[in-house]
Amino acid sequence: MRSAKDGRGLRGLSMWLAARPGATIAGAVAGAILVAGAGLAVASTTSGTKQSSTIQGCIKQNGSLRISSSCHHNETAISWNTEGPTGPAGARGATGATGATGATGAAGATGSTGVAGSQGGTGPTGPTGATGVGTTGATGPMGVAGATGATGPAGATGPAGTGATGATGPSGATGPSGPTGPAGVGTTGATGPTGATGSTGATGPGGATGATGPTGLPGGPSVIAGVVAFVDRLDTTGFSGQGGSQNVVLTAGEAGSPLPSGGTVTSFQGRAGSAVGGSGVVFTLFKNGAATAVTCTISPGGTTCSDNSDSVSFSAGDVVAVRIQNNSSNFIRDTRWTAALATS
């Protein structure tokens, strides 16, 4: 008995049909459809509880097909797999589009106002009045000098004796002082010891009180400053006031605060907590909501800037604020500004 297993599956079935002109393709296809519909049942029947991946059948000479694992002598045994081989893996799908950027978080609460500056120092003391001049007492008169005694005449010279030397006669009286001789040219002698300090003279009367010195400058802050903890890269323009805040605000009016005393603002400086990028960061001083000429720019890669050539005058109660233009395209932490205030 011949078997279609030699050709394997449907290829074997085709070879069997070609060798039998009387068998019809329609009959074979109908048999295949019946086999496909009954495949699970046959596999269960022929293999018990374990399903088989192969379907077995028998084809008669007239082309009819029946599902069986045991064929008669006038039938040809065939078999085919219940499933074809696994196809190749499909191409990888395109990457999905990036999701939209999340919304910016809500601004944090405004920090408390910084402690007020200390009271200005007292003005300098006026100059001391001139010291009073006391009169020196008169020197007492010198006592009268006693008269000099007369010089006795010289005795005559006696003849030279050969005897023993006579006793020395008494000294004659001292003659008058001769005229002063010329100044000597010898070296200067050593300095004698310092004489004892004389007693302190009586204190003279007190001088008149000097005029009062000018009044000192009024107290007030000598430095004004502000700091912003975090400037977002999307906050390209915002404002900072005196003291500290978590973020910049939209307008100078929101950020500004009045000065307690008038004066001139100079030595303006700006600072970033780390090196900036992009085209830098610009700081501009505002007075009563309007920009002034006091401004400076932190260049890319830098952290500080200053304006020591421009100044602006403020009156007591004028509002001060600083505009911060973040052109660095990155986040900035601890953004600060300071300026000197010379009160008037």
| Boundaries of domain holding 293 | 223-343
Residue 125 lies in a domain: no
More confident call, 107 vs 289: 289
Residue 302 lies in a domain: yes
Highest averaged pLDDT of the listed ranges 3-17, 39-53, 317-331: 317-331
- Residue burial 148-169, b: 16+ Cβ < 10 Å; e: rest: eeeeeeeeeeeeeeeeeeeeee
Query: Is 226 a residue whose pLDDT tops 90?
Result: yes
Determine the Cα–Cα distance for residues 311 and 293; give it in Å rounded to an integer: 8
pLDDT digits (tens, 9 = 90+) for 90-120: 888 888 788 788 787 687 677 676 677 677 6
Pairing of strands 243-245, 223-231: parallel
Query: Is 30 a residue whose pLDDT tops 60?
Result: no
pLDDT digits (tens, 9 = 90+) for 265-274: 999 999 999 9
pLDDT digits (tens, 9 = 90+) for 230-247: 998 888 999 999 998 999
**Which helix or strand (DSSP H or E) is residue 39 part of?**
helix 25-47
Q: What is the Cβ-side half-sphere exposure of residue 287, based on CA atoms within 13 angstroms?
A: 16
Residue 268 lies in a domain: yes
Determine the Cα–Cα distance for residues 253 and 238; give it in Å rounded to an integer: 11
Pairing of strands 332-343, 257-258: unpaired
Query: Is 344 a residue whose pLDDT tops 70?
Result: no
Mean pLDDT of 249-262: 92
Among 47, 81, 115, the domain boundary falls at: 81
Q: What is the CATH number of the domain that holds 285?
A: 2.60.120
For the chain, what is the mean pLDDT?
75
DSSP 63: S
Q: What's residue 26's pLDDT?
A: 42
Q: What's residue 301's pLDDT?
A: 93
Residue 144 lies in a domain: no
Residue 193 lies in a domain: no
Residue 209 lies in a domain: no
Number of domains present in the structure of the chain:
2
Q: What's residue 199's pLDDT?
A: 78
Query: Is 182 a residue whose pLDDT tops 70?
Result: no
Residue 267 lies in a domain: yes
Q: What's residue 133's pLDDT?
A: 61
Q: What is the Cβ-side half-sphere exposure of residue 104, based on CA atoms within 13 angstroms?
A: 9
Q: What's residue 41's pLDDT?
A: 37
Among candidate residues 212, 261, 255, the one with its CA nearest the CA of residue 235: 255
* Number of CB atoms found within 10 A of residue 80's CB: 21
Among 28, 52, 81, the domain boundary falls at: 81
Query: Is 308 a residue whose pLDDT tops 70?
Result: yes
Residue 258 lies in a domain: yes
pLDDT digits (tens, 9 = 90+) for 118-149: 776 776 876 765 654 645 556 556 656 556 65
Query: Is 42 a residue whose pLDDT tops 50?
Result: no
Query: Is 322 a residue whose pLDDT tops 80?
Result: yes
Q: Any idea how long the chain is?
A: 344
pTM check: above 0.75: no
pLDDT digits (tens, 9 = 90+) for 67-98: 898 898 888 998 878 777 778 888 888 887 88
Mean pLDDT of 2-15: 46
Q: What percent of the chain has pLDDT over 70?
A: 61
Q: What's residue 203's pLDDT?
A: 75
**Which helix or strand (DSSP H or E) is residue 325 part of?**
strand 319-326
Q: What's residue 149's pLDDT?
A: 56
Among candidate residues 63, 53, 52, the one with its CA nearest the CA of residue 13: 63
DSSP 247: S
Among 81, 101, 129, the domain boundary falls at: 81
